[in-house]
Amino acid sequence: MDKTYFIETYGCQMNVYDSEFIADLLSMKGYSRAASPEDASVVLINTCSVRARAERKAITRVQQLVALKRSGRPAYIGVIGCMAQRLGSDLEKAGCRVDLILGPDTYLDLPQIIDGLENRDGPFVDIGQDPACLYSLKPRVHDSVTAFVTIMRGCNNFCSFCIVPYVRGRERSKPLGEVVAEVEHMVGLGVKEVTLLGQNVSSYCGDGTDFASLLRRVSDIEGLRRIRFTTSHPRDLTPEVIEAMRELAKVCEHLHLPLQSGSDRILKIMNRGYTYGQYRDTVELARSRVPGLALTTDLMVGFPSEDDADHEATLQAVKDIAFESAFTFKYSARPGTRASELEDDVPDAEKTRRLQEILGIENRMIDACKQSLAGQEVEILVEGASKREEGYLTGRTRKNWLAKLPAKGVRKGEVVVARVTGVSRWMITCDKVLLKGGGLI
């Protein structure tokens, strides 16, 4: 068998990081990345279990690949990640007759496991959980100027709707020294911006160091231009982290703070650990201390027993807080969670109606926010050539808005200041580069 692999990744940035870790591991064992599943001897599907829809999508994709395998290529198909952890051998009942099923804590031995597949009758399954499992990424090459660095894994919060603590285990933090070494390594490969990842970075505690101190330490790394982080649990976001955001020039003015619902009654059943009033106080503190802060959130509609008054409370919260953007989802029961024992009593059509109502308000707010940018100067980290428009590069502003700018005289990896000349809902256009080196907004 030739040593080629292809990884398809679904779900959150944690999965993206894990897929990069696996790619690194396989390349150290002589594998090379294939351009498509048809060109690979090993195909891995890294799955998400957070919503029923994400699982259905992954299962459909695995079924397609199983059909492809009958033509002789790829030789092996593996399902890995959170859905693999949740379903294990039951994946076969879902029509996924694959060769490999691995949970998120079992990737270290992947090359040896693949070597042993040849003589197996039936899939290799390992969904054991390792409470100490923490991966560190140290690739030899990295072709992007941005990188994810996982600083912790798992979660202790047990929000009643969420499968993560069950499939990713309890919270554990990567030691401070390892995080710093990993960021330094990535900077050595040309990375200018890191996003520190965890299910709840606000409760980071590596070697007794809290998240605010970690931000300060990472900010000292020479050559690194920007730091982002996600996700922060509203209950655990401390004034110290907000102060670090205010003081450290490298930390971008963007905070992703999932609200989920504006109704205290629903927040309580969700086991979120805060009221809407407490959430709003945290937002007010953050906005007062970090000028120009961009705030984004996650919202869930149709949680069990959510009535019109609860939904109204969420709509009001969206209007009051005026998020820069929101990821809004319909509730779907995840087997094994506490919420799955409650009756899923909001009809799907009503969930859709509530979702559309929130999206309508959100889109108007995004548009207004973007319109207000016209003529302003923004700092952009240039990430590479535009895939859609020749002669243009794309990058992101400090607030994480996608931007495009003319390629002339500007290179990937540069931080520039440019004037906004056009806006659409998802992209800003900057036709005039004013300054290289960055330093503004």
Binding site for ligand SF4 (CB under 6 A): 155, 157-159, 162, 164-165, 199-200, 233
Least spacing, CB of residue 50 vs ligand SF4, in Å: 8
By C-beta, is 233 or 399 nearer to ligand SF4?
Answer: 233
By C-beta, is 100 or 162 nearer to ligand SF4?
Answer: 162
**Pick from 82, 98, 174, 167: which is nearest to 137 by CA?**
174
By C-beta, is 169 or 438 nearer to ligand SF4?
Answer: 169
The C-alpha atoms of residue 414 and residue 71 are separated, in whole angstroms, by 46
Under 8 Å between Cβ of 7 and 44: yes
Least spacing, CB of residue 77 vs ligand SF4, in Å: 28
Residue carrying the six token digits 């040309």: 190
By C-beta, is 159 or 380 nearer to ligand SF4?
Answer: 159
By C-beta, is 159 or 245 nearer to ligand SF4?
Answer: 159
Please report how the helices 276-289 and 239-247 are oriented relative to each other, as an axis angle in degrees rounded to 10: 20
The C-alpha atoms of residue 347 and residue 82 are separated, in whole angstroms, by 27
Residue 279, both tokens? 């959430």
By C-beta, is 210 or 247 nearer to ligand SF4?
Answer: 210
Least spacing, CB of residue 130 vs ligand SF4, in Å: 18
Least spacing, CB of residue 272 vs ligand SF4, in Å: 7
By C-beta, is 168 or 226 nearer to ligand SF4?
Answer: 168
Beta bridge partners of residue 45, listed in sequence order? 8, 79
Kindly report the CA angle at 393 between 387 and 399, in degrees rounded to 5?
A: 105
Least spacing, CB of residue 200 vs ligand SF4, in Å: 5
Least spacing, CB of residue 46 vs ligand SF4, in Å: 17
State the pairing for strand pair 415-419/392-397: unpaired
By C-beta, is 49 or 199 nearer to ligand SF4?
Answer: 199
By C-beta, is 124 or 158 nearer to ligand SF4?
Answer: 158
Least spacing, CB of residue 394 vs ligand SF4, in Å: 30
Least spacing, CB of residue 330 vs ligand SF4, in Å: 15
Least spacing, CB of residue 195 vs ligand SF4, in Å: 17
Residue 431, both tokens? 């036709």
Least spacing, CB of residue 230 vs ligand SF4, in Å: 11
Least spacing, CB of residue 198 vs ligand SF4, in Å: 9
**Within 13 Å of residue 109, how many CA atoms lie on the same side as its CB?**
15
The C-alpha atoms of residue 253 and residue 376 are separated, in whole angstroms, by 16
By C-beta, is 332 or 397 nearer to ligand SF4?
Answer: 332
The C-alpha atoms of residue 298 and residue 82 are separated, in whole angstroms, by 20
By C-beta, is 339 or 393 nearer to ligand SF4?
Answer: 339
